[in-house]
Amino acid sequence: MDGMGFVEEAENLTHTENEALAYKSTAIPTVDLFFIIGASRGMDITPLFAKSFEYCREDSVRIALWARDIRGGAGERKLFRDVLEYVEQKDLGLFKRMAAKVPVVGRWDDMLVAKTDEGFEHVSELVRKGIEEEAGRGDRSLAAKWMPREGDVAKRLRERWGLAPKQYRKYLVEHTKVVESDMCERRWEEIEFEEVPSLALARYTAAFKRHSAERFGGFIEKVKSGEVRINAEAVYPYDVLKTLKMQGEEVAEEQWKALADYTKGQAILPMVDVSGSMGSAVGGSHSLTCMDVAVALGLYISTKQKGPFRDLMLTLHSNPEFVSTKDKGTLKEKVDAVMRM
């Protein structure tokens, strides 16, 4: 190594929170982006993405789509929209390709960050086509649900669709059959609980119990018997713990069982930190703490896998200890056992 190489190597060194030696960068921008993007909530990721985008556009876009993916990715909305806006300015063709993936990985309104006339024209047509296709299948239109009713973006949309303000709002309402609409109109008996999206089901459990107790109770019994499935495809393990704390055990228990297994047959021993410092709020939330996330992830890994570490966890401590939840029957009992570690 020559003198300059030694200097560059030294300048790339840093220390972790625990004073361990580490590298600032891998020297591969796409790898740096993937390492950082999943833990960048509230941060401006655009400069790092720009560096990665210059290095390899295709890989950078794939990483951004993973970061947005509400099912198999990080589920990050704000930073994805920042990235999407950046891509539109740099590569309109690539922006259009990303926009086509938005309904799959995120929400229809993600693509409304488009600023150029051509970009907005493209996404407005995607949305209009999405609304009509969903209506043709008899489905509730998520495209219509996420469109703004008022404001500058709504004005741009209705102008491109050739609709007056009243016509535009009526068009969206006619194509929006979502649980919130039924709740606002007090049409509780019309709500089909097995069709309610996973996050909405977790969020509105208390309201369902209050206004449609018999029907909702019957739905839960059908879930328990295996007659119907509960929606859990867009919830994370920590969402289920939030439901457990705020809405009760029944829905949380069934959603936990319905969470997809991503352990893929691996033998994984999770180490969980439940120290006092983990009690701080996550991302400005008043209902979610770092401990909730750690416990949820630890329990998910330990209970979903089929290997030798099933139902086992290890404490993050100077003298680590094994904790078993094998003899705990319910999700609440398992959570309580981990919280006492």
Number of domains present in the structure of the chain: 4
Q: Where are the alpha helices (DSSP H) in the chain?
A: 3-11, 29-37, 46-55, 57-68, 78-90, 92-105, 117-136, 142-145, 152-161, 165-174, 179-184, 198-203, 205-211, 213-225, 237-246, 249-258, 290-304, 331-339
pLDDT of 320 reads: 86
Would you say residue 158 lies in a domain? yes
pLDDT of 4 reads: 58
337 and 276 co-located in one domain: yes
Strand 322-324 vs strand 312-315: parallel, antiparallel, or unpaired?
antiparallel
Would you say residue 85 lies in a domain? yes
pLDDT of 275 reads: 84
Would you say residue 31 lies in a domain? yes
15 and 100 co-located in one domain: yes
Would you say residue 139 lies in a domain? yes
Instruction: Say which residue the tokens 């296709």 belong to.
Output: 133
Examine the fold and report which residue of 106, 127, 151 is the final residue of a domain before the chain moves on. 106
pLDDT in tens, the chain (341 residues): 555 555 666 677 787 777 787 878 888 999 999 999 988 888 899 999 999 999 999 999 999 999 999 888 999 999 999 999 999 999 999 999 999 999 999 999 999 999 999 999 999 999 999 999 987 776 678 899 999 999 999 999 999 999 999 999 999 988 887 788 788 888 898 888 888 888 888 888 889 989 998 999 898 888 888 888 888 877 889 989 988 888 778 888 989 998 989 888 899 999 998 888 888 887 666 778 888 999 999 999 999 998 899 999 998 877 888 999 999 989 999 999 888 87
Residues 6+ apart with CB under 8 A from 310: 302, 303, 326
Domain that holds residue 153: 115-177
Instruction: Say which residue the tokens 């210059």 belong to.
Output: 54
Q: How far apart are CA 69 and CA 77, in angstroms?
A: 9
253 and 276 co-located in one domain: no
168 and 199 co-located in one domain: no
173 and 204 co-located in one domain: no
95 and 31 co-located in one domain: yes
Would you say residue 184 lies in a domain? no
255 and 268 co-located in one domain: no
Would you say residue 187 lies in a domain? no
131 and 42 co-located in one domain: no
Angle subtended by helix axes 46-55 and 57-68, to nearest 10: 140
119 and 99 co-located in one domain: no
Would you say residue 185 lies in a domain? no
87 and 173 co-located in one domain: no
9 and 102 co-located in one domain: yes
Examine the fold and report which residue of 260, 275, 308 is the final residue of a domain before the chain moves on. 260
Would you say residue 78 lies in a domain? yes
13 and 93 co-located in one domain: yes
Residue 318, classed as helix, strand or coil, is coil
